[in-house]
Amino acid sequence: MTHEGILFVSGTSTGVGKTIVTAAVAALARAAGQHVAVVKLAQTGVHDGPGSDVPDLETVTRLSGVTDVHELARFPDPLSPEAAARVSGLPPVDFGRARARIEELHATSDLVLVEGAGGLLVRYDSDGATLADLATALNQQGLDAPVLIVTAAGLGTLNHTALTLEAAAARKVTTAGVVIGSWPRDPGLAERENLIDLETLTGGPLTGVLPADSGTLPADKFEAVARDGLARRLGGVRVCN
């Protein structure tokens, strides 16, 4: 079974593996025969020339084979979307247009994955619009748009995850589970204990655990890792809540 409809992918912080998790969900949905579209609301820290990171959607396409991808804004500085737009002099993400694009893709796709930048409450414009606001707006339109939370494995993750889950609940944003985006090859005491405590926070097994360096794999091996690492509700075989 794979997810259908709209699924947001957000993190508890930056660098926790949101893009790899997005690619993993996309790969399994595509393998199941679904038409998948992927939206990146804002790409920051990408510019022309040496020293620029590979855009997230290029990584998603390379790993999953999904080519129906949409980047709504790009800013050169590695900052929050609102700050990156401000310092570059470029217009911020227009959430009205973003919502319309997602709705259009929803009408023609089995699954629309929407990857946010950073965490659930990161600002996208000077009015303070957040991913939580966009998910709420789509839900108010009658569209089911839960948020999959990607978190880290090491120290600090318990507080970050708890705060993110509380923020989602306070805003009545449905969560689709919690995934550890980068599980170390040789987990230490903190990681092993955090795995137990994260399951306590979520009320049961996690919705996925992807190994570190998954993003360096070729597409066929990545799909196998995604299948082993993600829950059945996301197309995988991992026994999760």
Provide the annotated active-site residues: 40
Beta-carbon neighbour count of residue 138 at 10 Å? 22
Determine the Cα–Cα distance for residues 172 and 230; give it in Å rounded to an integer: 25
CA distances in angstroms from 128 to 54, 92, 107, 134, listed in the order given: 27, 11, 28, 11
For the chain, the three-class secondary structure string (H helix, E strand, C coil) is CCCCEEEEEEECCCCCCHHHHHHHHHHHHHHCCCCEEEEECCEECCCCCCCCCCCHHHHHHHHHCCCCEEECCEECCCCCHHHHHHHHCCCCCCHHHHHHHHHHHHHHCCEEEEEEEEECCCCCCCCCCCHHHHHHHHHHCCCCCCEEEEECCCCCHHHHHHHHHHHHHHCCCCEEEEEEEEECCCCCHHHHHHHHHHHHHHCCCCCEEEECCHHHCCHHHHHHHHHHHEEHHHCCCECCC
Determine the Cα–Cα distance for residues 84 and 101; give it in Å rounded to an integer: 22
